[in-house]
Structure 1
Amino acid sequence: MKKIVSRAIVVLLLWPLLGIGQEVVKNNQQDFDPIMYRQGSAYRAASGEPGPEYWQNEADYKIDVSLNDVTHTISGEIKLTYTNNSPQDLDYIWLYLSQNRFKKESRGTLTTPIQGNRYSGDTDKGYTISDLKAKIGRSEALNSYIITDTRMQVTLDKPIPANGGVATISMNFSYEIPESGMDRMGQQKTKNGIIYSLAQWYPRVAVYDDVKGWNTEPYLGAGEFYCEYGDFDYKITVPYNHIVAGSGKLLNEKEVMTKTQINRMRQAEKSQKSVYIITPEEVTDYANTRPKQEGTITWHFAMENTRDVAFASSKAFVWDAAKIELASENKCVAQSVYPIEVSGNDAWGRSTEYTKAAIEHYSNKWFEYPYSNAVNVASNVGGMEYPGLSFCKVTAKTNGLWGVTNHEFGHNWFPMIVGSNERLYPWMDEGFNSFINTYAHLEFNNGEYKGNARKPRANLTYFSKKTREGINTYPDIVDTRNLGNTAYYKPALGLYMLREYILGPERFDYAFRTYIKNWAYKHPQPSDFFNTIENAAGENLNWFWRGWFYGNGNIDLAITGAHKQNGGYIISLSNLGEIPMPVHMKILFEDGTNKTLVMPVEIWHRGDTWNYFYKTDKEIKSIQIDPERLIPDINSANDSWPSNSSGN
């Protein structure tokens, strides 16, 4: 016993000396560390789903407005019923007045470059607000209000009680409709009249959530929207000869449509092919296609559990529709409205076919479409989405019209069903949507427009630019020349790599569907997405979130050699980029056979080089990294061995 103790003492005394001259082994743990605070709470579980005490406030709207096509104005009244489900009493409410973006002194106008950009627009418009009232229950509660740029704060003289208290805010509002509405709304002149595309057209409550409280980022242009869910009941009064297409269900078709049109709509609701409600020949035949012949007419719509509504109005519309097939057999109709000039089969004559196909694809693959209609509007807008309704460029044709229609209706899943914050995280909106668009492109009409699907290595020049920016750059801060990559292409490519290269379709699809199901009609944060995918797929992906979504580095895997040894080959690999990745290799043998081998991402835990002994009694002819070209490796020259065996 004494000898054992003595030897232990000697070892302990010599221990510091034994380490002299030895260097600390550097590892790559920093690449695999968590990227943000992702611990669960009562509101948001660590599994990525809403927690047991998750809450969300509700905003219900009743709106009644008139459109004047002589003065090009909207005027009317709104009543917002706001339910405070949060655990805090609220002393004030913030609303967005997005039409104030079209003032010469707005923050958006003042931060637009002299040469302009996509988000340039009119600067002589904006809201007129009057007769504002507020109540808590039945008691008058307005203290004061102040308008700051695109936001309005309504201060109450007593708070809205927590856990279910209700306030109502009402006001009259009016504005002149912009001609150029920042590629989100506006006016399109046609030979038979103006098409008015109306969005951000009413005062909207801002979101109060458990992460930031009130979300009050100003509306500058590139950053889109973050809206509360609720029920909408809205009426649009227009000249008698106008047709109105709106989000949601038309409640008074007998008042605004003729018997012939109603019968055609019933036929369309059962038809797989487009059925005209108003034919090209009937566009200006108001006497036979309008239930009134003078004055105005009111179209009444309603939509439940939605974050927004939009509409279009014109006397120039051709109108057609067809049935959307859903697994649940819920009644749903695809519709299109467009001017006669673009009614050909190479253009908007196929719009309803495109709309129907997109909705059916996303419903079958990810989550069923919840609304009763999907309406595509030919517009001055290049492409912009709203719940159940999209504005797409009037001049779009063939694959261009399919592409924009597919994209805008894909947005019904992100961010209409899954209600992420577009102002801060456009990648959770544009990127996720661009990802699901890829598979719709490949499927539609047996691949008619599969060329619209971008390939992983189609844009390598961007990844080598010094001016590139990361996905996590806010949309109003990012260089507009980079926005297409930071918000759309790069995050979409990230999900594509997760599905096709890292996790595989089965694991990814289950996890992604779980995310949609968990956060349908709710407000997820980036951490909720990361946690959901990791939990449902059973994979720690810190290294990927850090490198691809919250970094600005590149992927550069390399094979540096394959040396024959007894019983096989030593294959030498290097990670020359900033992002670790699994390594897919295709080994081709001299006898013409081949073998696929996948090295896990963990080979890069302790360094950027790795040797693997591959047992074989065959002669290896060549080895190719990423043979299917599923990742945007910036240097394909080092992807093969021997170096001249690349399959590029």
Structure 2
Amino acid sequence: MFAIADHYVWQASSLVVDPTTKRRTRVDAAYNPKHKDFEEVVQFNRKTVEAMSYTFPKWPFPYSHETVFDGLDQMEYPMMVNDNPVSTRDDAITLTDHEVFHTMFPFYMGTNETKYGWMDEGWATIGEWIISGIIKPGFQDEYGVEPYARGSAQEFDVPITTLSTLQNGSAFFLNSYPKPALGYLYIKDLLGDELFTKALHTYIQNWHGKHPMPYDFFYSMNAGAGQNLNWFWQRWFFDDGYPDLAITGVNKTDAGYNVVVAAKGTKPVPVDLAVTFADGKTEIVHRTVAVWQTSNTVTVPVATKQPIAKVTLGSTYVPDKHKADNVWESK
């Protein structure tokens, strides 16, 4: 892939991507100076390559350069991105880091994005979610989460592992972007950053450039984590179902309260509770998807001497099909 212009600005920089070998990667942007949103793109590119090397997936950027070209599309290529101008700084951030992240998935790994879009776009989506907040601290990019909540349990909501060539429209979007990204995010949450990184590196080390299939990913993650995660892979990637949690009770105890949460859907999602007390203070309580491995209800103890005024269930990266039962208020 190449691009030519006789009137573009070219900005270039470089950074050390491998602290062991001191290997550097050149990052650059070539753009029409009329497109002001591109003025920061070289920095967004640089910060993305840096984050990929040192934070997520924490693997030294594997190539000698990465170029973002001001073009007519939103498309990734090996070591080059062809991006059209966008209207906001946030859009420029998310578009840049998403497309640059594809350098690892599918290109470095060599996955078949035509058949398994979730092994390609799903990783670029979680990369976008994580790295956008690094480029712009405090920014929460929630691309695709609410569309999945609305689209889940509809006729087009087929399992992620359905061949991408058999999908189109909403099915392809949900199964290639938000659904697999959420699955990766939930396993990261379950394992913790250190063990997740070890598991992901096992997959990358064993399979980069070898065109891994879906089962190569699942088995590598299990081996790297030293855990059998098949219960989650089965329910999130292979089965039908939808995400739907509900607060079914808030009961007084000697130590405070027990908040009872039920899984009305079969897709395991984290439990995030915002507990507001009578004095106006709020406590955030989190449980990983592990609570749903063997049960469809979970009791969350809240130690307090204050009466609870309100409990709200849910957070940015937890889609929920029916939200009406996600709030409990004291009578």
**Shorter-chain TM-score range:** 0.7 to 0.9
In the TM superposition, 1:157-556 aligns within 5 A as 310-328=1-19, 329-342=22-35, 346-365=36-55, 366-380=58-72, 382-393=73-84, 398-446=89-137, 450=139, 452-454=141-143, 456-457=145-146, 459-500=148-189, 502-556=190-244
Distance in 2 (CA, whole Å) between partners of 1:627 and 1:559 is 10
Does the aligned pair in 1 maintain the 2:158–2:171 contact within 8 Å?
yes
Distance in 1 (CA, whole Å) between partners of 2:76 and 2:174 is 19
TM-score relative to the length of structure 2: 0.81
Does the aligned pair in 2 maintain the 1:581–1:601 contact within 8 Å?
no
Q: Secondary structure of the residue that 1:637 maps to in structure 2? A: coil
Q: Secondary structure of the residue that 1:476 maps to in structure 2? A: helix
1:398-438 superposed Cα distances (whole Å, 9 cap, x missing partner): 43333322221111111111221112111011101111111
Does the aligned pair in 2 maintain the 1:319–1:338 contact within 8 Å?
yes
Post-superposition offset of 1:340 = 4.8
Post-superposition offset of 1:372 = 1.8
Segments of structure 2 that go 5 or more residues without pairing to the other structure are: none
Q: Secondary structure of the residue that 1:514 maps to in structure 2? A: helix
Q: Secondary structure of the residue that 2:166 maps to in structure 1? A: coil
Q: Secondary structure of the residue that 2:232 maps to in structure 1? A: helix
How has the CA–CA distance of structure 1 residues 311 and 446 changed in structure 2, closer, same or farther, with 3 Å as cutoff? same
Post-superposition offset of 1:311 = 1.9
Post-superposition offset of 1:627 = 5.3
Q: Secondary structure of the residue that 1:495 maps to in structure 2? A: helix
Give the number of the structure whose alpha-carbon radius of gyration is greater.
1
How has the CA–CA distance of structure 1 residues 338 and 525 changed in structure 2, closer, same or farther, with 3 Å as cutoff? same
In the TM superposition, 1:56-67 aligns within 5 A as none
In the TM superposition, 1:92-107 aligns within 5 A as none
Quote the sequence identity (%): 27
Post-superposition offset of 1:512 = 2.3
1:457-507 superposed Cα distances (whole Å, 9 cap, x missing partner): 56522225443333223333212243322211221122222223x333333
Segments of structure 1 that go 5 or more residues without pairing to the other structure are: 1-309
Distance in 2 (CA, whole Å) between partners of 1:564 and 1:398 is 48
Distance in 2 (CA, whole Å) between partners of 1:568 and 1:394 is 54
1:325-366 superposed Cα distances (whole Å, 9 cap, x missing partner): 424332322222334543xxx233333222222212211222
Q: Which amino acid aligns with 1:479?
A: N
1:48-97 superposed Cα distances (whole Å, 9 cap, x missing partner): xxxxxxxxxxxxxxxxxxxxxxxxxxxxxxxxxxxxxxxxxxxxxxxxxx
Does the aligned pair in 2 maintain the 1:586–1:597 contact within 8 Å?
no
How has the CA–CA distance of structure 1 residues 541 and 639 changed in structure 2, closer, same or farther, with 3 Å as cutoff? farther
Does the aligned pair in 2 maintain the 1:497–1:631 contact within 8 Å?
no
Question: Does 2:329 correspond to 1:644?
Answer: yes
In the TM superposition, 1:580-591 aligns within 5 A as 580-581=268-269, 583=271
Distance in 2 (CA, whole Å) between partners of 1:603 and 1:429 is 27
Distance in 1 (CA, whole Å) between partners of 2:173 and 2:320 is 20
Does the aligned pair in 1 maintain the 2:48–2:100 contact within 8 Å?
yes
Q: Secondary structure of the residue that 1:332 maps to in structure 2? A: strand
Aligned pair count reads 325
Post-superposition offset of 1:594 = 5.3
Q: Secondary structure of the residue that 2:186 maps to in structure 1? A: helix
Distance in 1 (CA, whole Å) between partners of 2:218 and 2:291 is 19
1:15-57 superposed Cα distances (whole Å, 9 cap, x missing partner): xxxxxxxxxxxxxxxxxxxxxxxxxxxxxxxxxxxxxxxxxxx
Distance in 2 (CA, whole Å) between partners of 1:566 and 1:340 is 66
Distance in 2 (CA, whole Å) between partners of 1:469 and 1:603 is 21
Distance in 2 (CA, whole Å) between partners of 1:439 and 1:563 is 36
Distance in 1 (CA, whole Å) between partners of 2:173 and 2:245 is 26
Does the aligned pair in 2 maintain the 1:498–1:508 contact within 8 Å?
yes
Distance in 2 (CA, whole Å) between partners of 1:375 and 1:312 is 11
Q: Secondary structure of the residue that 1:472 maps to in structure 2? A: coil
Alignment RMSD: 3.4
How has the CA–CA distance of structure 1 residues 436 and 635 changed in structure 2, closer, same or farther, with 3 Å as cutoff? same
Distance in 1 (CA, whole Å) between partners of 2:148 and 2:274 is 24
How has the CA–CA distance of structure 1 residues 430 and 535 changed in structure 2, closer, same or farther, with 3 Å as cutoff? same
Does the aligned pair in 2 maintain the 1:442–1:453 contact within 8 Å?
no
**Range with bigger deviation, 437-446 or 465-474:** 465-474
Q: Which amino acid aligns with 1:632?
A: P
Post-superposition offset of 1:443 = 0.9
How has the CA–CA distance of structure 1 residues 505 and 628 changed in structure 2, closer, same or farther, with 3 Å as cutoff? farther
How has the CA–CA distance of structure 1 residues 623 and 535 changed in structure 2, closer, same or farther, with 3 Å as cutoff? farther
How has the CA–CA distance of structure 1 residues 602 and 416 changed in structure 2, closer, same or farther, with 3 Å as cutoff? same
Q: Secondary structure of the residue that 1:638 maps to in structure 2? A: coil
Q: Which amino acid aligns with 2:184?
A: L
Does the aligned pair in 1 maintain the 2:263–2:297 contact within 8 Å?
yes
Does the aligned pair in 2 maintain the 1:569–1:616 contact within 8 Å?
yes
Q: Which amino acid aligns with 1:473?
A: T
Q: Secondary structure of the residue that 1:561 maps to in structure 2? A: strand
Distance in 2 (CA, whole Å) between partners of 1:401 and 1:485 is 22
How has the CA–CA distance of structure 1 residues 538 and 629 changed in structure 2, closer, same or farther, with 3 Å as cutoff? farther
Q: 1:579 maps to what in 2?
A: 267
In the TM superposition, 1:119-130 aligns within 5 A as none
Q: Secondary structure of the residue that 1:367 maps to in structure 2? A: coil
